[in-house]
Amino acid sequence: MTTLDAKLDRVLGAKSGKALETALGLVTVGDLLRHYPRRYAERGELTAIAGLEIDEHATVLAKVERVTKRTMKSRRGTIVEARITDGHRSLTCTFFNQAWRERELVVGRRGMFAGKVTSYRQQLQLAHPEYQLFDDEATDIGSAAEEFASALIPVYPSAQGLPSWSIARCVGQVLDVWDGTDDQLPPEMRDRLGLADLESALRKIHRPHSFADVAAAQDRLKWDEALSVQLVLAQLRGSNQSHPAPVCPRRDDGVLAAFDQRMPFELTKGQREIGEQIAEDLTVEHPMNRLVQGEVGSGKTVVALRAMLQVVDAGRQAAMLAPTEVLAAQHARSLRELLGDLAMAGELGGAEEATRVTLLTGSLGAAQRKKALLEAASGEAGIVVGTHALIQDRVSFADLGLVVVDEQHRFGVEQRDALRARGGEETSPHVLVMTATPIPRTVAMTVYGDLETSALRELPQGRSPISTSVVPVAEKPTWLERAWTRIHEEVAAGHQVYVVCPRIGDDEETAGKGKKKTRKTAVDDSDGGGEEPPPEDGEERRPPLAVLDVAEQLGAGPLAGLRIGILHGRLAADDKDAVMRAFADGEVDVLVATTVVEVGVNVPNATVMVIMDADRFGVSQLHQLRGRVGRGSAPGLCLLVTEAVGGTTTRERLDAVASTTDGFELARLDLELRREGDVLGAAQSGRKSGLKMLSLLRDEDVIAAARDEAAHIVDQDPALRNHPGLARMVAEVVDADRAEYLEKT
């Protein structure tokens, strides 16, 4: 019997089994059959070389254009260089000490070439590629080898040592002996939705005769993924409803009412509406689970504070978790500021309704820490502010009613479960997650499907616009000089500036992209021979700019005379806090920092943000970063400094960030660009993930339909007792690491 559970080494032999496991993590027949082709090449098609990205592992269909053999001056080695072409651009394949390649790689022959794309002296390369040549031009690709018998050649996500065609051969062998599988979907659903059965979908995805076959198979396989994820989420929502929660009724004579009376500004419409939703959620006896997405500066803190005050009014406590100590300290400070004497319970001058805001971070001294823990445990602290890690595991509360999680859109289901299970309290606290990372609808439905989501789309009145420009130093070096001049002007006008770099510097960091790679011995052999062969990995990318270096250079050069501060994660918490405070108080003109300033930091007087090596940051990170400026009355300016040249995907990403300040639009663009970037087979990991086929960008309607279907099924049959096939599908998803759905975006 060859079922989906059968081990690959039994079916394919130990050697192939081992190779698939090591390179791609595939162990069973099911694993291999779920390793879907990334795309399909048509007979006679050549891969567009212009579309390749440096560093990706690519499979290229191309034609041999020219072959040369050279002897290295060291006399001991030879280099065979084969230029392959798609008819427009060419790519060099280099082989060291493999002279026989010259006989095999005959000019005019076509084949598939697989390897890592590198660049050397402006020329794209595949170093030591693996290849399979097709027989001859007349028979072309189609009949070249058995696995290419169909008009469509599957191109698999591959890995070094395991090229696409080897995977195709293994898949073929498996399909020949596979017994097929039972369908997990109820036949009624399959018919109603016009979906293919599972076995034929799996066969067609690997051996399609036409693109119609591919489409039919994809429809089915996508549906399975969408439905199983949505079933899991529907079950989570259901079980959440069954927990008791601390009921926090509204009162109009408590600290919330007192705060509302003295609030320094009018709430925006969005703040009012979301506030209303939350206030209502808190009065119900099952826990709120709400995600508030709001542009940077949209005023989420006040929304959270008002929710916390309602909880305090009910005689319970609220905890606010921030991702870093700097942020936690700043939150505690701004909550106290907003509350004034309403935060001074037990102190001289405290208001009658007052509560207490307690800060709890790892860097507190022993005595302070003990005091803070006591305030949490006794219930004296109405609001406890701390970092995620700290509060999650170690603090006990008298009566925790609400947890606010700030700026942590990755706060996953497990973490929320852990919070709930904590301390074995009978009730589960309400949870409010806040993020400035706009989340496209499909992602929200898929990743946060067990949360209610609300969006704060407008900014408070009087917020100033931010304009963003790309500073392409490779093409326009003078623009950077102008940028520094502009900074002098801003400072002269009384404003402040951030300069953000990707790295701290003064290296003890080990990882990082600029790390040296070890070279192959074949290359080392020729050292000192006078003729330098290309390094195996092509040109090394220079390491990203570092805070410490940049601060020094700016201070000695373009920004001499300005007061420059430094902020990064390796500083002691006290120092970080001191620097932030000095910046907030206007004692520092230019803050050179890592992304510590990414979230939540609020210095309204800062008007310019310069991001060095901007291409090393993600789109949403850049968006968050620039949200640090334009928070006061003066307009904000963000400069994205990069060496990336026009026309590359990298530059496109930066141009996208410069083109709009609508975070939701950007999130969509980002999703799109990242997808396009890996069309041909970027980094292949063998990790299993629940989502292989479903695209969060393009399959919105599938996801929405699956969500409705799942809600309906779980409503009637919460444990899926009457749906054993679906229960199995769900079990498979639950096994996969949930975090990976996120990475998928």
Distance CA 390, CA 474 (A): 45
Amino acid at 193: L
CB of 407 to Mg ion, least distance (A): 6
211 binds, among ligand ADP, Mg ion, none (CB under 5 to 8 A by kind): none
Candidates 262-270, 357-365, 414-422, 682-690 — which segment interacts with ligand ADP by CB under 6 A? 262-270
Residue (298 or 496) nearer to Mg ion, CB: 298
- Does position 600 bind Mg ion by CB under 5 A? yes
Residue (129 or 600) nearer to Mg ion, CB: 600
265 binds, among ligand ADP, Mg ion, none (CB under 5 to 8 A by kind): ligand ADP
CB of 489 to Mg ion, least distance (A): 29
Considering only residues 82, 221, 302, 332, which one is a binding residue for ligand ADP as defined by CB under 6 A? 302
Considering only residues 166, 289, 301, 437, which one is a binding residue for ligand ADP as defined by CB under 6 A? 301
Distance CA 745, CA 741 (A): 7
- Strand, coil or helix: 725: helix
Considering only residues 268, 324, 650, 745, which one is a binding residue for ligand ADP as defined by CB under 6 A? 268
Q: Which of residues 278-297 bind ligand ADP (CB under 6 A)?
A: 294, 296-297
Task: Quote the DSSP letter at residue 514.
Answer: T
CA angle 223, 229, 234 (to 5 degrees): 115
The answer to whether 637 and 624 have CB atoms below 8 angstroms apart is no
Contacts for 353 with CB less than 8 Å, ≥ 6 apart: 254, 255, 257, 258, 342
Q: CA 484 → CA 248, 557, 610, distances in Å?
A: 53, 10, 9
The answer to whether 509 and 465 have CB atoms below 8 angstroms apart is no
Place of tokens 């980094």: 683
Residue (229 or 328) nearer to ligand ADP, CB: 328
CB of 571 to ligand ADP, least distance (A): 23
Q: Which of residues 419-438 bind ligand ADP (CB under 6 A)?
A: 436
271 binds, among Mg ion, ligand ADP, none (CB under 5 to 8 A by kind): ligand ADP
Candidates 94-102, 264-272, 423-431, 550-558 — which segment interacts with ligand ADP by CB under 6 A? 264-272
Pairing of strands 78-85, 90-96: antiparallel
β-bridge mates for residue 641, sequence order: 471
- Does position 323 bind ligand ADP by CB under 6 A? no
Instruction: Provide, for the chain, the percentages of residues in helix, strand and coil under a 3-state DSSP scheme, each rounded to the nearest 5.
Output: 40, 20, 40
Amino acid at 480: L
CB of 179 to Mg ion, least distance (A): 56
Length of the chain: 745
CB of 692 to ligand ADP, least distance (A): 35
Contacts for 176 with CB less than 8 Å, ≥ 6 apart: none
- Does position 300 bind ligand ADP by CB under 6 A? yes
Candidates 240-248, 267-275, 446-454, 648-656 — which segment interacts with ligand ADP by CB under 6 A? 267-275
CB of 301 to Mg ion, least distance (A): 5
Distance CA 517, CA 537 (A): 8
The answer to whether 242 and 286 have CB atoms below 8 angstroms apart is yes
Residue (437 or 602) nearer to ligand ADP, CB: 602
Residue (462 or 557) nearer to ligand ADP, CB: 462
Considering only residues 218, 602, 661, 684, which one is a binding residue for ligand ADP as defined by CB under 6 A? 602
Candidates 7-15, 59-67, 237-245, 594-602 — which segment interacts with Mg ion by CB under 5 A? 594-602
Pairing of strands 636-642, 466-472: parallel
CB of 724 to ligand ADP, least distance (A): 46
Query: What's the CA dihedral at 535, 541, 543, 549 to 10 degrees?
Result: 110
Binding residues vs ligand ADP (CB under 6 A):
265-268, 271, 294, 296-302, 436, 460-461, 600, 602
